[in-house]
Structure 1
């Protein structure tokens, strides 16, 4: 699948949440995500603009937890975070991290921790993220199956951004991990 995604910093997550709800989005989850990113000893994954991570998610409302491993390919355009993404659930995030380390992958520092409110409208996911050490962000995502769907999805996302008072030029192409590392 191709994940068509934009990310932008926002000062007031509650204000954006209210605007999204008024346009028909519905809250679907309030979770904590802990992401550990990995690279090989040569640093090839990151150098190629790709990402390998283990994500552990805890639902703030139910207390239930789950884990998954993700691989994100290179960004597919110069304006957004759009890229091919592969992911699958794993039984135990700690064991998955240990396996990756035992076969030579190295965890990146720091771990990325965020509280995320997820909203959905049709096939569009909006994520309101409070990233520990960085602050508030809005991510808009649509999963596309083809290049044609990717272009249509980006148009849909641009329309939503505009309705919130933003432009595509307000978005960032930098990962939370890179932002946290650059703060040091």
Structure 2
């Protein structure tokens, strides 16, 4: 199991945030097209992330649905047959929703900075601070807040839930 602290914020102008991301990043950018299918799951969330017809990841994660920095425990399994796996899981569990996005990834040490253009929802920034084994969630939350400040993101811009939840509300 891996752990990180996450925040998600709605932004009006990704280009403006990207100016700051470029300034502070240690790596990037990397552009990634993602097609996420969420499945019925009573304990956390289960999604299949498809990058291409031959590359995907099955991701299970558990995190509270609240605004602000939050801890997420997650497990990732790679697949080379995402379409077949999606069909199998859809028949077995049922599909909750699907989210397609264009993601631009920057890295700042152990923080992943995601600049997301989400189909039907708009522009978002997602931060994931990967926690070390000996690190507390509070330390990760403090790092997330520092990166938020560097990117010009205010607490009032934070949103709760996954993109699939926001999609259902819109």
The TM-score normalised by the length of structure 2 is 0.88
- Answer yes or no: is 1:21 the counterpart of 2:22: yes
Moved over 6 A (4+): none
Question: Does the 8 Å contact 1:129/1:138 carry over to 2?
Answer: yes
Match of 1:106 among 91, 94, 104: 94
Could you tell me how far 1:95 is from its partner in structure 2?
A: 1.2
Q: Deviations over 1:7-43 (max 9, x none)?
A: 0011111111111111244324101100000005xxx
Match of 2:71 among 76, 82, 87: 82
Match of 1:139 among 126, 137, 143: 126
- Answer yes or no: is 1:73 the counterpart of 2:73: no
Which residue is equivalent to 1:32?
33
- Answer yes or no: is 1:119 the counterpart of 2:106: yes
Aligned residues, how many?
169
Could you tell me how far 1:166 is from its partner in structure 2?
A: 2.7
**C-alpha RMSD over aligned residues:** 2.2
Q: Unmatched 5+ residue regions in structure 2? A: none
Could you tell me how far 1:150 is from its partner in structure 2?
A: 2.4
Could you tell me how far 1:164 is from its partner in structure 2?
A: 2.5
Task: Give, in whole Å, the separation in 1 of the partners of 2:55 and 2:136.
Answer: 30
Task: Give, in whole Å, the separation in 2 of the partners of 1:126 and 1:51.
Answer: 21
**Structure 1 residues 76 and 143: alpha-carbon distance in aligned structure 2, compared to 1, 3 A threshold:** farther
Which residue is equivalent to 2:9?
8
The worse-fitting range, judged by mean Cα deviation, of 22-31 and 128-137 is 22-31
Q: Deviations over 1:24-65 (max 9, x none)?
A: 44324101100000005xxx34xxxx210000014xxxxx95
Task: Give, in whole Å, the separation in 1 of the partners of 2:58 and 2:80.
Answer: 10
**Structure 1 residues 32 and 24: alpha-carbon distance in aligned structure 2, compared to 1, 3 A threshold:** closer
The TM-score normalised by the length of structure 1 is 0.82
Task: Give, in whole Å, the separation in 1 of the partners of 2:156 and 2:71.
Answer: 15
Could you tell me how far 1:152 is from its partner in structure 2?
A: 1.4
